Structure 1
Amino acid sequence: MSEAAFEEVSVLSSIYCGEGEFLLVQQSAQDGLMVQINSTVGGERGPDVRLLFQLHPRYPSCPPVISVSSTGLSRSQCHDIRQKLLDQAAALPPEPMVHQLVEWLQQCVEVTENCRGNKEEDEAKEEGRKRDKEEEWTAVLSLDHIRSQNRYTSQLQRWTQQLQLGGRLLLGRSILVILQGARPNIKEFCRLLRTVKVDVDSSGKKCKERMMKVLTESPTSSSGGHGLQGFVVMTYESIPQLTAAFQEINMTGLYQQIRPSLSD
């Protein structure tokens, strides 16, 4: 096992120091480490969730294997949480991540709320989610800065592929990301952008994109777009060039909406 893995387990045992919160289940040179963390999701009155993290001997170069169980959630809800955690782990850089994943789990309140809502509310939420998935949306994001361009761009492209989004990255005085696809996937992209270290700060330390802004978000039918394919990086040096970039993808109307928000 790597020294980083042992250090992380030591830190985890200090963080989750309450009775029954943390357990080192297994430790071997062949199979690695297995830790169990019991967490309450959605506040003090939320259901308890038991998380098992299998850390391979090559961890954190490879993400952990995760299992989820709970007496307060259904099997399908546990499966959904597990899949979300696995997707999140795959999107993170190869660094110790267990604590970050447990913290991220607290953001899955929407998943666990189903166990406390009535049937009519649950069905309405599910119907709304289906509509969002079926309807294509377009969003334009503004980024504060990109210092490590290769690293940052590669991560953005990876996320658009994983989330089945079309994307354009426009590099100039204003840094813009245009996304097109299912609305929940666009929201997940924004969440990843704010929570994953995608760039470096002025001192060279890895940092998150906390200054990202959503300039506009609307159904694609109202934005005038005709469907973005893949992920393309475009550079512009002037406002006319930026205008032309939006014209090229048939989004002039969208550009007029965000123009007041852009730097001159």
Structure 2
Amino acid sequence: FRIPCRYSLSHWLEFSFCFPEIHGISFRIQISVKEVLDTDVCLKLLFHLPVNYPSTLPDISVNSDQLTRAQCMDVKEKLLEQAKKHLSEPMVHDLILWVQQHLKEVIKQSAAVYGIWMLLLHLDHMRAKAKYVKTVEKWASNLRLTGRLMFMGKIILILLQGDRSSIKEYLILQKTSKIDVDSSGKKCKEKMMRILCETEVQSQHKRYHLTFEVKEYSAPEELQKEFETAGLTTIFSEFVPPLLK
């Protein structure tokens, strides 16, 4: 069942009782932490309190649509570190307060350790455009990748940012899935994709923190401005002009 949650930044609190005398108690709490990544971040925390809690640490799971898997793992590890400091005393309330106060710091440390990767792809064509676009959006969402799918005339570019492991997973999907159709309308794999650039995001590069957007541009100047706004002027100059010829 769900009950109103007293935390001012929280949306809901859900308890699950399953033979508590044997298995303990599990509950989920969703909190919104403000001013992280230049926006609010919604955290979904799952706590499982074993029968002998608080003498035993709780199991904790962390999920967020705004954070990468690596970042969620880092938040979980930091929460467990804090939990050890409160062993043998009730701790959930303190852990929630701690993550609200320190989430931004944890994410910055995570970025410093893992880095954020960027990938720029060029596609030759899309015959089944609507389905193709929908599939790319789904992959980006599932892998928590952000960026742009860009159309300008006959030019098709995909710019992705996220965990390097997620970037690699995306490339595997792009290369091995039957994502388009051939000239006869039969499903086929993407054979005309080129990797223009794959690199770690630098300090001058803007992060697309929350969104993967599909955008169309009517002129090269508009496309160039998109790159310039993202701090990717050098990448545009090196890789895109040859495609315009």
* TM-score (normalizing by structure 1): 0.47
Pick closer, same or farther for the CA change 1:247–1:131 going to 2, 3 Å: closer
What is the SS of the residue equivalent to 1:177?
Answer: strand
Q: Which has the higher strand share?
A: 2
| Residue identity opposite 2:162 in structure 1 | G
How many angstroms does 1:249 deviate by? 2.9
Runs of at least 4 residues off by over 6 Å: 130-133
How many angstroms does 1:260 deviate by? 4.6
What does residue 210 of structure 1 align with?
A: 191
- Whether the 8 Å CA contact 1:132–1:184 is kept in 2: the answer is no
Pick closer, same or farther for the CA change 1:187–1:133 going to 2, 3 Å: farther
- Whether the 8 Å CA contact 2:147–2:208 is kept in 1: the answer is no
Is 1:177 the counterpart of 2:174? The answer is no
Matches within 5 A, 1:158-197: 158-172=138-152, 173-197=154-178
- Whether the 8 Å CA contact 1:174–1:262 is kept in 2: the answer is yes
Is 1:149 the counterpart of 2:129? The answer is yes
Pick closer, same or farther for the CA change 1:153–1:134 going to 2, 3 Å: same
CA–CA distance in structure 1, aligned partners of residues 122 and 112 of structure 2: 23
Q: Which has the higher helix share?
A: 1
What does residue 239 of structure 2 align with?
A: 258
Pick closer, same or farther for the CA change 1:131–1:252 going to 2, 3 Å: closer
**Cα root mean square deviation, aligned:** 2.3
CA–CA distance in structure 1, aligned partners of residues 118 and 174 of structure 2: 17
Q: Say which one has the larger Rg.
A: 2
Number of aligned residues:
135
- Whether the 8 Å CA contact 2:117–2:161 is kept in 1: the answer is yes
CA–CA distance in structure 2, aligned partners of residues 168 and 183 of structure 1: 17
Q: Where does the alignment leave 5 or more consecutive residues of structure 2 unmatched?
A: 1-109
Q: Where does the alignment leave 5 or more consecutive residues of structure 1 unmatched?
A: 1-129
Matches within 5 A, 1:30-45: none
Pick closer, same or farther for the CA change 1:229–1:249 going to 2, 3 Å: farther
How many angstroms does 1:136 deviate by? 0.3
CA–CA distance in structure 2, aligned partners of residues 167 and 240 of structure 1: 19
Matches within 5 A, 1:35-74: none
What is the SS of the residue equivalent to 2:238?
Answer: helix
- What is the percent sequence identity of the aligned residues? 36
CA–CA distance in structure 2, aligned partners of residues 132 and 260 of structure 1: 32
* TM-score (normalizing by structure 2): 0.50
